[in-house]
Amino acid sequence: MLSLSGLVAFLIVFGALAYHRASLIIFTVSFALLFIIATKLTGLTVGNIICWIFFFLIFIPLNIKRLRYRLISKPLFQFYRRVMPSMSKTERDAISAGTITWEGDLFRGNPNWKKLLAMPKAVLSEEEKAFLEGPVETLCRMIDDWDITHKRLDLPPAMWAFLKEQGFFGLIIPKQYGGKQFSAYAHSQILVKVSGRSIAAVTTIAVPNSLGPAELLLHYGTEEQKNYYLPRLAKGEEIPCFALTSPTAGSDAGSLTDHGIVCWGEHQGQKILGIRLTFNKRYITLAPVATVIGLAFKLYDPDHLMGTKTEYGITCALIPRHTAGISIGRRHFPLNSPFQNGPIHGENIFIPLEWIIGGSKKAGKGWVMLMECLAAGRAISLPANALGGAKILSYAAGAYARVRRQFNLPIGRFEGIQEPLARLAAYTYLMDATRTFAVSTIDAGEKPSVASAIVKYHVTELGRKVGCDGMDIFGGKGICLGPKNFLARGYEGAPIAITVEGANILTRNMIIFGQGALRCHPYVLSEMEAGRMQDFQAALPLFDKAVIKHMGFALSNIVRSITLGLSGALFVSAPKGVMKRYFQHATRFSSVFALLVDVCMLVYGGKLKKKESISARLSDIISFLYLLSATLKHYDDQGNKEDDLPLVQYACLHCLFSLQESIDGIIKNFPIRPIAWMLTILIFPLGKPFTKPRDSFNRKIAQLMMTPSETRDRLSAGAYLASVPENPLGDIQDALLKSIEAEAADKFIRTAKKEGKVSGYTFTDCAQAALHQQLISEEEFDKVMQATEARRKVIAVDDFSEEELCGKKN
């Protein structure tokens, strides 16, 4: 058996079983049959005797539970309980919140692509379409962002009234309470359209429909609370805000100092059991105009008036604005974006216990409630806001790159512009695909806690990069504020989305992998739950079941990683078509990720959660696998349009290169160098296969963006593109169409001047000379002049008198 042929047979059987993740019993039976056949063929040789000793030493103990407990599981469990990381209650609540969707398949190292493509598409109902085409379109026409951001520093009263009358504050509230009860996709699409027009307007709509009183009431409120507040919130009779952040508790909600003490007090002339609150909140959106405040605070009951507990933990309550002792109304001014935002203070405010959301039985459940709601909401509001800006930029930048001329050429002909233009467009496609995939899972009934963190982080980060690329393309046009500038306020406001609903640094370094590793890994959570059990003997069988499967899982990922690395994943089963190789590469790196997770957990142990740079890179790997999956599904859902391939392939290559670099970063920073060398061999046996997208993609994508096409229309679908006087995008599109129509005549005139056939100080002079000499027709001259005028209108920037700029009246 130890001959070369025997060794090859051993490795083939072992590799095949490990690759396909065979169970322990299948491994045992397979090797028993292999050794029996070898013994039958060659007799009881020294090699066969060694094989049988190996079999009895390894497989027999693994298959006899008592022996396995004693020799393997019990020592491992004792060690595991010693090194298992501690976890605060807020951490445990955050980890347990929400559900696991596609990211769980990616964590397991062998994603089922048929399952992905069979997931329901995001669709709008007829009612939702009518709302987008009616009230949302009307709202977009009403918006004058310069008036909002420079003059009023607020939405105009007519717009506030319109939002209330049309039900914009009740998008998520069920119809039985007077709300719209729209899908997550419709909710997202509404925000996408409005965000391209005004950050202040979209934020005003987003907050009442995001994490706040309405959603908390829907899931946790008492019937009395729902029946009173939800109809009033749906009609806009109540304007809500939710106050969580305080000066000492930003990302670390566990450090809240806002507190409430259970005590007796007087309310409406009666002595009742209630809570005396003291709090200091800041950064609270809609606070200056809110009529009802959702408040998060820590609840204490030192006199045990509610029960036996002294500390209940984070609790959420609804408090009317007029409650005595509340100080509210002052405003913050976040990056020149004047949506209503400000601090709230309260000192010794007494409220009834019944004001706790869900009543007194929900005391101390506030953090769980917030995390469960955030698990879905985080994937909707801020990603939609970022995407709305990206869509109008991708639509406008391509047109501007063809309309704007320098050195007698459209600037889009220069490679220096093609690069950011292609990146901007491909990132927009990636953002749209990721956002759409996430909200479709929410509409399928999921609360994708890990996926929502991935989406929030990456879509807002990509939005920031898109804004920078847009600024580079528009140049001076982009930096001059005024009514003609549709770019700068979004560019200014990008860090707002980066900062709120979980700061992006926290999200990347701690949440995505920290929560994902426990929730998505097939065995880690079961091992930790067993480790926390007080009864060692009762916990041991649970730990044993998980850890034996975990060992097989890790062994399989080692084999899969080296096999897929050597073969380039060429033989992996994947959907047929032009994108097949991207599916195969994703399968390869999914196995690599599963391997890396186990190796990092083994080497770092409980210290891994403090190794933020390693955790962040692991977050990047699972994130880019998710983004890659979303891109492949989006392309399939849109009908595999061949014209879109440059965008899709650029996005896929960006994901593959980015996750490859994150893997390389983990290996290069691994503390035990022999393990790092071994990982390099297992993961990159033939070297790193991916580079950044080639320059040829830049040229192809730039051409798509600079030409009216179905690809450009699909990319910008959902943005407000109406050709009306108040929308600069209409002017840009008009200039693009006129420039294309006049292109031949334009080129002829410039060539004629170069050859000395016509002369003039300006292009208009040359065009008139060409007309006078009958080198061009009157129709051609008119087209050229119309294109020239449209171009001048588009490249124009605003200027102001001193009084206008300072907001003074003449």
Average pLDDT over residues 286-313: 95
What is the rounded CA–CA span in Å between residue 665 and residue 754?
54
Share the mean pLDDT of the chain.
Answer: 91
What single-letter DSSP state applies at residue 290? -
Comparison of pLDDT for 510 and 435, the residue scoring more: 435
106-119: per-residue pLDDT in tens? 988 999 999 999 99
| Predicted confidence band of residue 29 (pLDDT cuts 50, 70, 90) | confident
Euclidean distance between CA atoms 173 and 245, whole angstroms: 25
Quick check: 290 pLDDT over 80? yes
Q: Mean pLDDT over residues 339-355, rounded? A: 96
**780 in active site:** no
CA distance 694 to 673: 33
pLDDT (0 to 100) of residue 616: 94
Q: What is the pLDDT of residues 220-273, one digit of tens each?
A: 999 999 999 999 999 999 999 999 999 988 877 778 999 999 999 999 889 999
Radius of gyration from C-alpha coordinates of the chain = 31
Catalytic residue among 103, 215, 461, 501: 501
- Residue-wise pLDDT for 159-204, tens only, equals 999 999 999 999 999 999 999 999 999 999 999 999 999 999 999 9
Q: For residue 2, name the pLDDT band (cuts at 50, 70, 90).
A: low
Task: Tell the burial category of 102 from Cβ atoms under 10 Å away from its Cβ (0-12, 13-18, 19+).
Answer: buried
pLDDT of 385 above 70: yes
| From 25-34, 68-77, 78-87, 729-738, the region with the lowest mean pLDDT | 78-87
- pLDDT over threshold 60, residue 1: no
Q: pTM (2 decimals)?
A: 0.93
> Under a CB-based contact definition with an 8 Å cutoff, are residues 588 and 621 in contact?
no
For residues 173 and 218, the answer to whether their CB atoms sit within 8 Å is yes
In this prediction, what percent of the chain has a pLDDT beyond 90? 72
Residue 30 pLDDT more than 60? Answer: yes
Average pLDDT on 2-30 reads 80
Please say whether the beta carbons of 576 and 632 come within 8 A: no
CB atoms within 10 A of CB 162: 17
Highest mean pLDDT among 3-7, 149-153, 514-518: 149-153
Helix H segments across 742-805?
Answer: 743-754, 763-772, 778-795, 802-805
Tens-place pLDDT, residues 402-457: 999 999 899 999 999 999 999 999 999 999 999 999 999 999 999 998 999 999 99
Query: What does the pLDDT look like over 690-724, one tens digit per residue?
Result: 999 999 999 999 999 999 999 999 999 999 999 88
Q: Per mean pLDDT, which range of 525-534, 590-599, 630-639 is the poorest?
A: 525-534
**Averaged pLDDT, 568-595:** 95
Residue whose entry in the numeric block shows the structure tokens 């429909």: 209
Q: What is the per-residue burial (b if ≥16 Cβ within 10 Å, else e) of 184-200?
A: bbbbbbbbbbbbbbbbb
Label the pairing between strands 259-267 and 292-300.
parallel
More confident of the two residues 60 and 349: 349
pLDDT value for 309: 92
